[in-house]
Structure 1
Amino acid sequence: MAIPEPSPDDISRGLAALERHLADLAPTDPVRTGGETRRVRQLRAEVAEAHLLADLQEDDTPLLIDSTRVRRRRKAAQEAARLHALGRDPVMRAWQATRMRRLLVTAALVSLALALAWSTAGVQAFAADGAGPWTAGWLFAWLVEPFMSVALLVVVSARAYLATRGAPLSDRRLIRIERLFLGLTLGMNAWPYLPGVAEVFSLSRLVLHLLGPVVAVAVVIALPIILASFAGLDHAQAGTPRTGPSYRRNPLDRYPADGPDLAALTARARRLIAAGELPPDPGADKIRRALRCGMDTARAVRDALARRPPAGTQGEN
């Protein structure tokens, strides 16, 4: 059977189909077609990410944000600074002094009351004079020390209160009354245990019975002195801080009496700044210590440094 010869149209259609088939099987050329392979897309994404990271790393904003630890430390520092400033306030210092004074007065009066109560047994033994237990004389002997102690506490409390108001009570008659009561308490406690009076002398027993009256005497003498010192406190002056360094003149062994060479000192200060021994903008006190000069000279050097240096001194060593 004879095969018919293909026409030119059949050949054209076959070639077109073959080209389409080959085009579907061949890989896409990214240069000619403008497409991207997966590796190209992945590398392009990495490059874009690197550019973004580089831009973000140049931004210092995250470094300006305080962490939790920094905020806690800053809060504690602010609280300490406010407490320090409050402690220097005259009103706060007056309140602290009043509180301490009240505490001292309370402790002193409690100590005085205990000391007088301690001596009650010794006074009772003296006042009973050998009376039998639970007899009238023995019972009334227990009242001798309390009524003397109450009278003494009246005098001491009045002097203490008036001393807290800045009006110390120093009447000689009251002082004599205090001494009388304290002397009676001391004598009645010590008498039965003195050498020659006691059947068997014991130093420890004598000291033990003298302990209460001695403490009472110490409290009565010390309390008015302490309260008078509290009344004389100047809270405003005590809370005033020192605002500057103490004034000093030029030492005569280093600088002449007619005044130092200000230009030479200024040049020397610039050399110290260049060497790092002085800060770029030093204060008068730092200049004074570095140049060992007086405060007036240090201020003049500071003002000269603040001005533009004269020509020819920039490279001076």
Structure 2
Amino acid sequence: MPAIIPLPAPDPDPEDVARGLADLERHLAAQTPTAPPPATTHNTAPAGLPVRAESKRVRRLRAEVAEAHEVADLQEDETPLLVDSPKVRKRRKAAHQAARLHELAKNPQMRAWQAARMRRTLLTALMVALTLALAWSTAGVQHFAAENAPAWSPSWVFAWLVEPFMSIALLGIVGARAYLGTRGQPLNDPKLVKIEWLFLGLTLGMNAWPYLPWVAESFSLSRLVLHILGPVVAVAIVTALPIILAAFARLDHDRVGDRAGEGLTGLTYSGNGHDRVRRTAADVAPLIERTQKLIAAGTLPAAPSAYRIQRALRCAMDDARVVRDALKEVA
């Protein structure tokens, strides 16, 4: 069999080669998996350079810069400075309350209430002190009245009753004068004053007698002072109480006005006494009426002097002069 001689292959066409390469590339692209897109970043890189992902430090610094820009913009707004702080608010509230209290203190009704409260407090304190002073002297009076009687004997027991019944009578008189004094009608009848001094004198004498130098076996000044302390305090309270109550009764609560900027009313003077009586007679009308009652009762003469009127009514001397002049006008 004859041998087969292979023929040489023809040269490939360039278009066929290009077509084959394109088919090969499409086949490889279909077989290769798609890569994920790169992470988006906020950094910008110059053209031609690759973009890198931001680090944690860069992101933190970028957030701080953004926050600083926002704070700077807010700091330019002065509205928070117009809002009062708690401390300023508290101080303004205290100042407002102080101004209201100051304005209220000038109100005549408020001044009358304050005077009534103070008068009640003083009267209570003085009456309690008077009661304690009379109770203090009870032991001294009992020692005087018992005259060394045996303990729990009838004389010794009844001696304890001497000071209480005198004290109760004295407190009754003082209480009546105090009550009338708070109502602007001081009770200054000479008979009542003499009765008060009689009770106080008896209490003082009975407390001091056993400890006087010519009576006591051994004189002691400290014991004498200790035993007369109660009666002395009682005498002082009984003397001072009518004066204090009369002063409260003469208070003029309208003297400080309630208009802004008005202070104490100053003293006024007039060259004509008759004009002054016409101007102030209405203000002292209650004093004139009381003076007329005292004249009718015989306590004051028909034409009393200003001094006598002042002593009888326990009023100011200026008011007493006005009352005197008014009575002369009426006569």
TM over 0.5: yes
Match of 1:305 in 2: none
CA distance, structure 1, for counterparts of residue 206 and residue 45 of structure 2 = 123
- The alpha carbon displacement at 1:133 in A equals 2.0
1:94 aligns with 2:112: yes
- The alpha carbon displacement at 1:232 in A equals 1.5
Q: List aligned pairs for 1:41-120, cutoff 5 A.
A: 55-120=73-138
The runs of 4+ residues in structure 1 deviating greater than 6 Å are 29-32, 36-39, 42-51
- Alignment check: 8 A CA contact 2:103 2:258 kept: no
The one-letter amino acid of 2:180's match is L
**Residues 196 and 139 of structure 1, relative CA distance in 2, 3 Å threshold:** same
SS at match of 1:235: coil
CA distance, structure 1, for counterparts of residue 229 and residue 246 of structure 2 = 26
Deviations 1:127-178 (A, max 9, x none): 1223222222222211111111011001111111111111111111111111
CA distance, structure 2, for counterparts of residue 192 and residue 46 of structure 1 = 99
The counterpart of 1:148, out of the listed 159, 166, 177, is: 166
- Alignment check: 8 A CA contact 1:119 1:212 kept: yes
The counterpart of 2:253, out of the listed 209, 220, 235, is: 235
With structure 2 as the length reference, what TM-score do the two structures score? 0.59
- The alpha carbon displacement at 1:45 in A equals 9.8
1:4 aligns with 2:4: no
CA RMSD, 1 decimal? 3.9
Query: Which range is displaced more, 186-195 or 48-57?
Result: 48-57
**Residues 145 and 38 of structure 1, relative CA distance in 2, 3 Å threshold:** same
With structure 1 as the length reference, what TM-score do the two structures score? 0.61
The counterpart of 1:198, out of the listed 208, 211, 216, is: 216
Q: List aligned pairs for 1:99-178, cutoff 5 A.
A: 99-178=117-196
**Residues 38 and 225 of structure 1, relative CA distance in 2, 3 Å threshold:** farther
CA distance, structure 2, for counterparts of residue 38 and residue 229 of structure 1 = 96
- The alpha carbon displacement at 1:93 in A equals 1.9
Unaligned runs of 5+ in 2: 1-8, 27-36, 38-43, 264-331
Deviations 1:209-252 (A, max 9, x none): 1000000001101111111111112222236577289xxxxxxx
**Residues 192 and 51 of structure 1, relative CA distance in 2, 3 Å threshold:** closer
* Largest Rg, 1 or 2: 2
- Alignment check: 8 A CA contact 1:90 1:236 kept: yes
- The alpha carbon displacement at 1:91 in A equals 1.8
The one-letter amino acid of 1:112's match is L
- Alignment check: 8 A CA contact 1:93 1:239 kept: no
SS at match of 1:98: helix
- The alpha carbon displacement at 1:199 in A equals 1.3
CA distance, structure 2, for counterparts of residue 210 and residue 46 of structure 1 = 90
Q: List aligned pairs for 1:273-312, cutoff 5 A.
A: none
- Alignment check: 8 A CA contact 2:108 2:254 kept: yes
**Residues 90 and 3 of structure 1, relative CA distance in 2, 3 Å threshold:** farther
**Residues 150 and 46 of structure 1, relative CA distance in 2, 3 Å threshold:** closer
**Residues 38 and 243 of structure 1, relative CA distance in 2, 3 Å threshold:** farther
Unaligned runs of 5+ in 1: 18-23, 246-317
The one-letter amino acid of 1:181's match is F
